[in-house]
Amino acid sequence: MYVCGPTVYDVPHIGHGRFALVFDVLRRYLEFSGYEVDHVSNITDIDDKIIRRSNDEACSASAIASRYETVWWDAMDALGVLRPTAVPHATEFVEQMVGMIEELVQAGVAYETSDGVYLAVDKVPGYGLLAHQSLDSLRSGARVEPGEEKRSPLDFVLWKKAKPGEPTWPSPWGEGRPGWHTECVVMSLGLLGEGFDIHGGAVDLVFPHHENERAQAVALGRSFATHWVHNGWVMMGGEKMSKSLGNFTSLTDMLERTDARAYRLLVLRSHYRSPIEVTPQTVADAEEGLARLDALARRFALGSHPDPSVPAVRAGAVEAGIDAGAVERFRVRMDDDLDTPGALAEIFDLLRQANSAADAGDEETGYRLARTVAALCAALGLDLHGDQEMADDRAQALVAKRDAARAARRFDEADELRRELEVLGWIVEDTPGGTRLHRRSGSG
């Protein structure tokens, strides 16, 4: 699996968080199903935006890239995203990229201009297949800008000839640097080989990035990815999230305010191809769902992950103490194009059954179902926090937030926080000294 990674010139936004979570869950589920996964995800460490920022800050492009790559991995670790099995950096593959561009020139599908080397897309059979658009419809509206030497508006740059003040590499066309579309086709084919299984990324990469990656492989007669997986937009207040719209929210900021596991749950509540809405309400809903899961883990004293008492479900092998029928229902949902909303519905159904069984005095059934919930959550990368100390820390943090909200007369927020505490199993009392908590009997 090759997943297009970030261009490291700024802090990641919450849309990056979604794609990272979607492909993390896909990878975990493939492993759960018994596959060994080579998960390659690149770092684009040379690009116009990196160069612009390095000029603004009067430092090197590599200093910018390494600074923001560190921020990227910190955010990924906080999200609980597994590190890819290989992380190629574009600047390590420039020689191979030059080699592929030479092949494309020799094959007569690429041509040199005064500012670079371009691919002639009308020489590529099936160009537009991935975008589901004909060459004509892609061409309409596109035009060659004045001063450009491209033969057709859709032709794209493979090699950019050096401009003053830019990092450069040698090539048969003089000093310069590779175009973005060439990076990914070279690194994916180079590390995974022809006909690799899955190429992924966010939906905004379908065109032109993935179409253009594919075009280079097709032009050289190489078989490229056999499956494409694209995750949908992150919407905020009905608008696509993007930096240019100004509704850009940094992932790092979000993770400071929200439990990272709640964002994972929020993402999984929608199908990966659908858009998701990230609003205070959808975040609060996800936090509430997470609190119910944690409360279940506490009730059955499952402890925090990795809890050796929770048997792993791996390679489809169901260990004793797990409800095999529930695991099968989960698998049917996930096998259906990664239907995570359906899989979560199964999990929350099990959660209700576990609580009802225990309420009715059948602790044994309750325990078996609760362990199944924890095992299936772990398969999705969602670790439950069952230990009391952690729960108490969380409750105390909510109390502090609630007292601050009440002092500032933000009563809606205070009510929200009350509900959150109640879901965690607390009785909330308002006293002159602030919020006081009592443990509700029976819920552990």
Binding site for Zn ion (CB under 5 A): 4, 184
CB of 331 to Zn ion, least distance (A): 31
CB of 230 to Zn ion, least distance (A): 12
**Closer residue to Zn ion, CB minimum distance, 7 or 258:** 7
DSSP code string of 107-175: TTSEEE-SSEEEE-GGGSTTTTTTTT--HHHHHTT--PPTT---SSTT-EEEEEE--TTS--B--TT-S
Hey, which residues does 240 pair with through a beta bridge? 235
Q: Rounded to the nearest whole angstrom, what is the least distance from the CB of residue 431 to Zn ion in the complex?
A: 56
Q: Which is nearer to Zn ion, 50 or 290 (CB)?
A: 50
Q: Of 4 and 94, which has the nearer Cβ to Zn ion?
A: 4
d(CA 252, CA 279): 16
Tokens 């552990």 sit at which residue? 444
Return d(Cα 378, Cα 375) in angstroms, integer: 5
Is 40 strand, coil or helix?
A: strand
Within 10 angstroms of residue 21's Cβ, the number of other Cβ atoms is 26
402 with 418: CB under 8 angstroms?
yes
- Give residue 426's Cα distance to chain centre: 33
Q: Using the minimum distance from each CB to Zn ion, give the nearer residue, 22 or 184.
A: 184
Q: Please, which residue, 184 or 241, has the CB nearer to Zn ion?
A: 184
Which residue, 138 or 184, has its beta carbon nearer to Zn ion?
184
* DSSP codes joined into one string, 41-109: E-BB--SHHHHHHHHHTTS-HHHHHHHHHHHHHHHHHHHTPPPPSB--BGGGSHHHHHHHHHHHHHTTS
Beta carbon nearer to Zn ion, 130 or 377? 130
Tokens of 214: 């594919």
- With beta carbons less than 8 A apart as the criterion, state whether 128 and 211 touch: yes
**Residue 220 beta carbon to Zn ion: minimum distance, rounded to whole angstroms:** 17
Dihedral sign for Cα atoms in the order 151, 152, 157, 162? positive
CB of 184 to Zn ion, least distance (A): 3
Give 4 or 21: the residue with its C-beta nearer to Zn ion.
4
CA separation (Å) from 356 to 151, 296, 364, 374, 396?
A: 69, 11, 12, 17, 28
Nearest to Zn ion of 212, 270 (CB atom): 212
Question: How far is the C-alpha of 59 from the C-alpha of 46, rounded, in Å?
Answer: 14
Taking the complex as a whole, the smallest distance from the CB of residue 7 to Zn ion amounts, in Å, to 9
**Minimal distance, residue 214 CB to Zn ion, in Å:** 11
Q: What's the chain's length in residues?
A: 444
Minimum CB distance to Zn ion smaller for 184 or for 338: 184
Q: What is d(CA 439, CA 295) in angstroms, rounded to the nearest whole number?
A: 12
For residue 290, give the 3-state DSSP assignment: helix
* In the complex, least distance from residue 15 CB atom to Zn ion, rounded to whole angstroms: 15
Q: How far is the CB of 209 from Zn ion (least distance, A)?
A: 6
Q: How far is the CB of 200 from Zn ion (least distance, A)?
A: 10
